[in-house]
Amino acid sequence: MSRFLFVVPPFAAHVNPAASIATELADAGHECAWVTYPQMRPLLAADARAYDVQQSTLVAAEADLRRAAAAPWLAGMRALFERILVPMAHDMLPIVEAAVTDFRPDVVIADQQAIAAALVARKHRLRWVTSAPSASLLRDRIAQYTAVAAWVAGLYANLEREIGLVPVAHPDLSPDLVLIYTSRYLAGDAVAYPASYRFVGPALAHRAESVAFPWERLTGRKTLVVSFGTLFAERVRPLYARLVEALRDEDVTVVIGTPPDLLRDPPKNFIVRPWLPLMDLLPRTDAILCHAGVIVNEALSFGVPAVVAPMAHEQSIYAELVVTAGAGVRVRSNRVAARALHEAVFSVLDGAGFRSAAQRVAASFRDAGGAPAAARAILEVLAR
């Protein structure tokens, strides 16, 4: 039996794939523990051993996080690193140190945004793996801006020096294994990826969701799921208004995951819920409208084509890949008119080519292996 320490930020899209992999390892007889924020506990196994990050930078900096999400790319990157990732690293460092001392892991699985885990693993000369749910590694936008790249490297170098490490290039990326939760097919052949990158597809196995939903309202007509996450709530309000104008009383059931106060008095063919049971809902879905975050891979896993409306940062990368694969269309989230939104939604709902392309992507995800393949890759690192 071996021990694996998972270190993840307080973002569900980053915790969910790690939780699936941890379950695979636990089912194989290994022991897993976690460093994360208390609000993520419901996403872990009921008996999970966890070391909580007590000082929640992201609770204190929620406004900063929302501003970072809504800002133009360069301004958003600055806010993301200065106001979120670096302070979060300071929060996590002592907890990861304590967890390593107490749990004595054989391998650390460090989310790419949890840089503290990578640094502590290096300090203690532990084997470690990078978990990278976002699309940021598929197309390196930062490298296009040498001044920004140097600035980010400087921030990381300061963190490394603080704990007695010699700065290295890309300290957030394990030299042995970087888990990418999409397929090589969807990523395309425009980039030559490092040998350490392992494309395992979405890790959805064992994901449990206890979310109430009015299933009886899903009739025989087609279903469109709409999800823009939590960070873009206020920014997406105008888009919801145009969506209502576009799809009111149309022969489609529109299921939206959003706080109800953002969409008051929805039309009769709309279902508005604060949370959606996606793993049960997506198999019954005909198309999805989303911001091209991690959720677009989850939808494609079920062969569901997409209308993508990226809002920030790396989302434009997944949007580009979806369109290139023929599995969806892209609209401008802040400018699309109701008529254009109507045309985009129904072109995807009614176009057999989009669903066929989405099903090809789904097949590539199955071939990539998901959580079992990720667990095997981690055990290979352990065996070296």
For 227-236, the pLDDT digits (tens) are 987 666 667 8
305 domain-assigned: yes
pTM of the entire structure? 0.91
- pLDDT averaged over every residue in the chain: 90
One domain for residues 158 and 235: no
Residue 148: the pLDDT is 83
Pair (330, 294) in one structural domain: yes
Q: Which two tokens stand for residue 167?
A: 């700065």
Show the beta-strand stretches assigned E in the chain. Answer: 3-7, 31-36, 49-52, 107-111, 127-132, 178-180, 197-199, 222-227, 252-257, 270-273, 287-290, 306-308, 328-330
- Contact by Cβ (8 Å): 228, 236: yes
Neighbour count for residue 153 (Cβ, 10 Å):
16
Q: Note whether residue 208 is domain-resident.
A: no
Check whether residue 225 and residue 189 sit in a common domain. Answer: no
At residue 367, what are phi and psi to the nearest 5 degrees? Answer: -65, -35
Residue in this structure with the two tokens 């300090």, named with its chain if needed: 123
Q: For residue 220, what pLDDT is reported? A: 85
Are 254 and 378 in a shared domain? no
Give per-residue pLDDT as tens, 240-290. Answer: 999 999 999 999 999 999 888 888 889 999 999 998 999 999 999 999 999
Judge whether residue 58 has pLDDT over 70: no
Residues 37 and 157 in one domain: yes
Structure tokens at 266: 């929805």
Sign, CA torsion 319/325/326/328: negative
Tell me: do 21 and 155 sit in the same domain: yes
Same domain, 373 and 352: no
Higher pLDDT among residues 167 and 42, named by residue: 167
State yes or no: pLDDT of 181 exceeds 60.
yes
Contact 181, 203 (CB under 8 A): yes
Looking at the fold, whether 329 and 340 belong to one and the same domain comes out as yes
Residue 68 has pLDDT above 90, yes or no: no
Domain that holds residue 272: 215-366
Mean pLDDT to the nearest integer, 207-230 = 88
Residue 334, pLDDT score: 80
User: Does one domain contain both 130 and 143?
Assistant: yes
Q: Is 201 helix (H, G, I), strand (E, B) or coil?
A: coil
Cβ atoms within 10 Å, residue 105: 23
* Rounded Cα–Cα distance for residues 9 and 271 (Å): 30
Whether residue 206 lies inside any domain: the answer is: no
Same domain, 343 and 197: no
Looking at residue 311, which CATH number applies to its domain?
3.40.50.2000
Together in a domain, 249 and 141: no
Tell whether the model's pLDDT for residue 71 goes beyond 90: no
Whether residue 134 lies inside any domain: the answer is yes
Residue 209 lies in a domain: no
The count of domains in the chain is 2
User: How many Å apart are CA 295 and CA 299, to the nearest integer?
Assistant: 6
Residue 39 inside a domain? The answer is: yes
Assess whether 186 and 282 both reside in one domain: no
Is 210 part of any domain? no
